[in-house]
Amino acid sequence: MIGWKLYSALAVAVALGAGVQQLRIAGKDADIAKLRAEHANTISAINVAGASFAAAMRATEQNWAERLEKESSDGQTRINTALAAAAAARAAAGSLRAAADRYRAAARAAAHPGATAVGPSATDALDLFADLFARADDRAGELARVADLAHAAGLTCERAYDALRDDTPPP
């Protein structure tokens, strides 16, 4: 038979073991509370940094949008100027063609004062020259218009790129 002393010693050992375990649990609870506080501080710091970064990015985005809008407006002005120059060149070419037509009419009148001669007329070369001149002038005007528009568009694109490249976003 096991004596009461043995039961008492066993009860004291169990009580001491339970007490030690309670102390360990209390220590772990304190560690968990400390970690939770550190975690809350970290989350708060992340939220503050995120809000600051978002505000900086909004400001940068607005700056970029303003720069792009300015370059777009300037580009449209360049394109309008090129179109106006092309229209002026067409008008000048029209007056030059009118002058050539008048010269051609005068040359025909001078070449045909009386009866027509047998064979090709002298004005055929003049008509050919006038036709070739008109075609060449039309083509040159179209090429100049396309080149001016391409130049204005390319310049606008380049300036828009440079406007964005000069200002890097915050880290």
- The answer to whether residue 1 scores a pLDDT higher than 60 is no
Task: Report pLDDT for 162.
Answer: 85
Q: Tell me if 90 sits within 8 A of 141, measured CB to CB.
A: yes
Return the higher-pLDDT residue of 117 and 167.
Answer: 167
Mean pLDDT of 97-124: 67
Contact 123, 105 (CB under 8 A): no
> What is the spatial distance between Cα 38 and Cα 42, in angstroms, rounded to a whole number?
6
Task: Summarize the chain as % helix, strand, coil (round to 5).
Answer: 90, 0, 10
Distance CA 93, CA 98 (A): 9
More confident of the two residues 126 and 70: 70
- pLDDT at position 120 is 53
Write down the pLDDT at residue 38: 94
Contacts of 108 (CB under 8 A, 6+ apart): 123, 126
